[in-house]
Structure 1
């Protein structure tokens, strides 16, 4: 299976309320040779107020945000979905995609009435080159140069990591340039740390992650926090009963004799703090779980001989009652989400019905007057609201006068935070960000952004 490396440039860092402005992707074969590339930009959605800092970092001007030559957000997302389907099946990856770009992409598909899980269904899988870089820094430190930030700490930021390892990253924060830098780092890790590459790549499959944990053999878990990698000896010890992608692992630095017989109340305390016995890994997020042989310094790091690590792992994995209690503790610690009122926050409330799926497919084929009718016919109130919004943003004349007036009021409230609508970024919030910037000399582009924001309705 080949890869699709992708990156986004956005209006900010809020994966629920910010918007993709630029999307770029490169398709490769399984040996990382380029086969095809794709890039697109779009106009700003009227209800999204961009973070000035994001615009300055990506060198996007107000004129670019409203350039009529660019596709609308809806048109761009249709193009992206069509391209990604054509490139499937593949392993979809990037740099920090699992935490940032992937949630943004899902939200954009959701808001444009398209399948949310395009990148991990129908044979597709997901990876993250940041995970590979973190594991390489911990397990094969001589394979990759890790730069030092201005604060004097190691950093794996792509815009500094790639140049430190020989990539001419002259256009950082451009989506296509960042994709090229990501592929460069993937090739470097594959070639210089092949054991790490081959150990982590199978973990794009959550079934493989679960297989790693459904054994009495200890594993090495690599984590990265505040620029510092850490390695832990762990063994699987249960999972969330209603969300099996949430897997619990036992930190084998702790003596099982001190933990296995704890009550559920006391066990809940072992899910918190730096020395907690229980940690959570997500089977669908490529956790860095490798054989201890890849971390020969692990016994010395945790102060235990390997036979004792193996013994503790066997004791924990044999206690089925403990695993059941861990599952109940996880369920209490991670309860279901409270019902949300804002439609963007309701993406994970369930799949659309088959009838609504068919209506949404017809929506994409129809003209705007028919789309307005289909919007009213959708059964799921989430998709009905999103469809109405699409018509309002792209063809307001297709709406009835009352519906158009309702959505005009919604737009004003969203931009200004009125009537209790405090979601996303408001115009006043964006202006405050500019005013609070501690930089002595703001670039001239900042004043252009300030002027544009003040002139928004």
Structure 2
């Protein structure tokens, strides 16, 4: 009998950029689909490497010292290999809180720079992923009964530590990964008990083929929850699927049916594109709300049938939904020429190429030959790296290889590689305009923090500041 499990997980990191800032801690608890714990909790630390400075505020928030991580943590290749093995356990759903936008990105980029497949754990072996945060946002909009929903200045607050506290869930040390995992499971249990039908429905919608069925063109309006829709609208509106966005088969272009955007019907695709990708404050009067967005099938979007809202008068009133008007607007937008025009708005969406090789994950997939070389590297010893030539057709991976060797097997570098590595570090730590945290900026931030009364009177935070200084000295003396 197949046993489906959920691996609830969370990272702490040395900064807020999942592409470049490294993980410091990974914690996870595996449960069955009824949220009963299975096995022992996981709580692993990763050794920071001497090629990137930790952001001091990140260390203070998490309470994690880089020196302690050097002493108790694993080298990153071992760290991510163990994490990937947990995710790759058959019938595993990797779940978290805001994990699609952050934790999953940390996993992907860490796998990428250590020569693993960044995506396989998300779909192979009947595996999947899920994110609780938009599930809770949708529950507040559509089925709020049974949960306390805290607000700050009249707006809903979905910070995990605030939400868990409001619902009597212990969360003593927020920003400790294991405590965050326990709080996430606690909120999942709270929602499942309060609204089991919605919980189970949205858990099933983690599978992109189910999302694709609901968002199939011609199926009519549906409900969608996203922070982009705004707190004043409970992050939720009625939408209509128009078609694929650009070349991405996982993208569905959708139009908001509950906002004043009739001008989309008459304006050209170029005009709409210019407005859509212009800052809100700079948009012409009357064009503030295009109500046009892409929903990604593979990112566990919070979507549900229209009747989930319209069948309940109280929900319609709360969301200011008029079903008759929604259906009339859907009919106006459900025209082949209009759909094609609005989908074409996203055809030329542009992302500037990343300068740093470690941030280039989304600039292509490896060839079969490069994948074979990646597999060899994952088991290569220092002697192998020193004596054998590993070459990739894709230049990104050659750059990653040099960095991999420099971080974990510096004795295997030849003179040219050693020079290239030193030039990279010089550029990174002196900030040549690439937005890196320079040694000078790092020292300045430590100086300011050392004068903060809250830190001066906190023994743990003072120790972390001192350890951050020690870590910077290790970098300078390397």
TM beyond 0.5: yes
RMSD (CA atoms):
2.6
Structure 1 runs not aligned, ≥5 long: none
The CA distance in 2 between the partners of 1:286 and 1:378, in whole Å, is: 33
Would you say the 8 A contact 2:65–2:464 is kept in 1? no
What's 2:342 paired with? 326
Q: CA deviation at 1:26?
A: 1.7
Structure 2 residue 434 is matched with structure 1 residue 442: no
What's 1:132 paired with? 135
The CA distance in 1 between the partners of 2:273 and 2:316, in whole Å, is: 27
Normalised to the residue count of structure 1, the TM-score between the two structures is: 0.90
Structure 2 runs not aligned, ≥5 long: 281-287, 457-461
Distance 1:407 1:196, change over 3 A: same
The CA distance in 1 between the partners of 2:325 and 2:150, in whole Å, is: 36
Q: Given the alignment, which residue of 417, 420, 426 partners 2:438? A: 426
The CA distance in 2 between the partners of 1:194 and 1:41, in whole Å, is: 35
Query: Residue deviations 1:271-327, cap 9 Å, x none?
Result: 46553242332222222221233223454456563233223324423x111111112
What's 2:239 paired with? 234
Q: CA deviation at 1:177?
A: 1.5
Q: CA deviation at 1:167?
A: 1.4
What's 1:170 paired with? 172
What's 1:3 paired with? 6
The CA distance in 2 between the partners of 1:271 and 1:406, in whole Å, is: 41
What's 1:366 paired with? 380
Where do residues 250-399 of structure 1 align in structure 2 (5 Å cutoff)?
Answer: 250-254=255-259, 259-268=264-273, 271=276, 274-295=288-309, 296=312, 297=314, 299-300=316-317, 305-317=322-334, 319-332=335-348, 334-335=349-350, 337-373=351-387, 376-399=390-413
What's 2:163 paired with? 161
- More moved, 374-383 vs 90-99: 374-383
In structure 1, the residue corresponding to 2:242 is in which secondary structure? strand
Q: CA deviation at 1:194?
A: 1.8
In structure 2, the residue corresponding to 1:290 is in which secondary structure? strand
Distance 1:448 1:255, change over 3 A: closer
Distance 1:254 1:175, change over 3 A: closer
The size of the alignment, in residue pairs, is 449
Q: CA deviation at 1:117?
A: 0.6
- More moved, 261-270 vs 56-65: 261-270
Q: CA deviation at 1:446?
A: 5.7
Normalised to the residue count of structure 2, the TM-score between the two structures is: 0.86
Q: CA deviation at 1:8?
A: 0.4
- More moved, 182-191 vs 218-227: 218-227
Distance 1:257 1:446, change over 3 A: closer
Q: CA deviation at 1:254?
A: 4.9
What's 2:45 paired with? 41
Q: CA deviation at 1:169?
A: 1.1
In structure 1, the residue corresponding to 2:38 is in which secondary structure? strand
In structure 2, the residue corresponding to 1:330 is in which secondary structure? coil
Distance 1:233 1:374, change over 3 A: farther
Would you say the 8 A contact 2:264–2:290 is kept in 1? no
The CA distance in 2 between the partners of 1:379 and 1:55, in whole Å, is: 38
The CA distance in 2 between the partners of 1:339 and 1:270, in whole Å, is: 23
